[in-house]
């Protein structure tokens, strides 16, 4: 099967919950909507997996049966640039999330790296990199195959600029590039105003990390509200006063012939994931028609 851009929600859509769906029902329900990706939310987890191995494996079986690509978002309680005891606790939470992600066959475990705090930024970032090298080594020793997915962050006090995330991908073994386009938009005070602005990010990634990393990046997307310090709140795609506009990113995906995994983080999850899918499909079809003699 040819690679293609996949779309899906960050978490179980509200309507699925109203229908009484179990977690392992989600892949089939998403497939019925024409979606083929799902990011399981383990964001409140502590130092041990908070789901049974058999439940994780059942979710994985259903995802494979329905050709839905799984990812997992790890604990929010991570700070790899904090005090030593905080870093060690953060490592344990990452290993717990990675263990469950491996059980279900997720291809990447997404996470937030930490905060600058009162430490100089370059030292805070160095602490994050060294801690992630330890986590990566432990994952290999445990036989965990899931990739580490450090995410670009939306607030200025968080470790997670595009350059920092790319450096982690260069220096830490077993990583997957994760770009949250809404976060970058908010962190830089509404930076994505044109297709060219998003194309510049793609070009930078390709130059630093290579074409294959760009083509297969893992993405989060929603419109986003921000303050002077960055991210404030996610919004639905139809809210015109917020950005960025997904159509601009869809143009870049088509321009570079990319096939990322696109995870929707808007408040209406699957509904907006479908809109994103249809937007990209429309652009690709229009270009195909225009190219015909």
Give Cβ neighbours of residue 143 (< 8 Å, ≥ 6 apart).
none
Q: What is the pLDDT of residue 118?
A: 83
Rounded mean pLDDT of 53-73?
98
Sequence spans of domains, the chain: 6-291
> How far is residue 144's CA from residue 198's CA, in Å, rounded to a whole number?
33
So what CATH class is 6-291? alpha beta
The average pLDDT across 198-220 equals: 98
Whole-prediction pTM: 0.96
Q: How many CA atoms lie within 13 A of 250 on its CB side?
A: 19
The per-residue pLDDT for range 134-180, each reduced to its tens digit, is 999 999 999 999 999 999 999 999 999 999 999 999 999 999 999 99
∠ CA 217-262-178, rounded to 5°: 35
Q: What is the pLDDT of residue 2?
A: 62
- Average pLDDT over the chain, rounded to an integer: 96
Q: Is the pLDDT of residue 82 over 90?
A: no
pLDDT at 1 over 70: no
Least reliable range by pLDDT among 190-199, 208-217, 283-292: 283-292
**Can you give the pLDDT at residue 197?**
98
Give me the pLDDT at residue 175, please.
Answer: 98
Is residue 78's pLDDT more than 70?
yes
Q: How confident is the model at residue 243 (pLDDT cuts 50, 70, 90)?
A: very high
Cα–Cα distances in Å, from 158 out to 23, 105, 155, 220? 31, 29, 6, 17
Encode 19-41: b = buried (16+ Cβ within 10 Å), e = exposed.
eeeebbebbebbbebebbbbbbb
Residue 52 has pLDDT above 60, yes or no: yes
3-state helix, strand, coil in the chain (%, to 5): 50, 20, 35
Statement: residue 293 has pLDDT above 90: no
Residues 14-30 pLDDT 10s: 999 998 999 999 999 99
Q: What percent of the chain has pLDDT over 70?
A: 99
Tell me the three state secondary structure of residue 282: helix
């Amino acid at each position: 099967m040819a690679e293609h851009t996949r779309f899906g929600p960050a978490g179980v859509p509200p309507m699925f919950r109203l229908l009484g769906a179990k977690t392992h029902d989600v892949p089939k329900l998403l497939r019925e909507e024409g979606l083929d990706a799902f990011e399981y939310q383990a964001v409140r987890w502590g130092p041990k997996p908070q789901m049974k191995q058999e439940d994780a494996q059942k979710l994985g079986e259903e995802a494979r049966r329905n050709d839905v690509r799984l990812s997992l978002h790890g604990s929010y309680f991570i700070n790899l640039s904090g005090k030593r005891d905080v870093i060690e606790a953060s490592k344990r939470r990452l290993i717990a999330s990675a263990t469950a992600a491996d059980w279900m066959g997720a291809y990447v475990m997404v996470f937030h790296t930490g905060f600058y705090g009162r430490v100089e930024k370059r030292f805070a970032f160095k602490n994050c990199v060294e801690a992630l090298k330890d986590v990566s080594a432990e994952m290999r020793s445990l036989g965990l195959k899931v990739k580490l997915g450090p995410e670009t962050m939306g607030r200025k006090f968080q470790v997670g600029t595009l350059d920092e995330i790319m450096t982690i991908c260069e220096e830490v073994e077993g990583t997957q590039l994760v770009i949250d386009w809404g976060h970058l938009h908010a962190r830089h005070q509404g930076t994505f105003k044109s297709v060219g602005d998003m194309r510049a990010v793609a070009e930078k990634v390709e130059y630093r990390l290579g074409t294959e990393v760009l083509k297969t990046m893992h993405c989060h997307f929603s419109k986003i509200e921000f303050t002077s310090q960055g991210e404030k709140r996610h919004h639905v795609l139809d809210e015109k006063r917020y950005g960025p506009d997904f159509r601009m990113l869809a143009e870049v995906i088509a321009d570079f012939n990319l096939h990322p995994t696109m995870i929707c983080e808007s408040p209406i999850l699957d509904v907006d994931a479908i809109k994103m899918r249809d937007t990209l499909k429309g652009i690709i079809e229009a270009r195909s028609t225009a190219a015909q003699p």
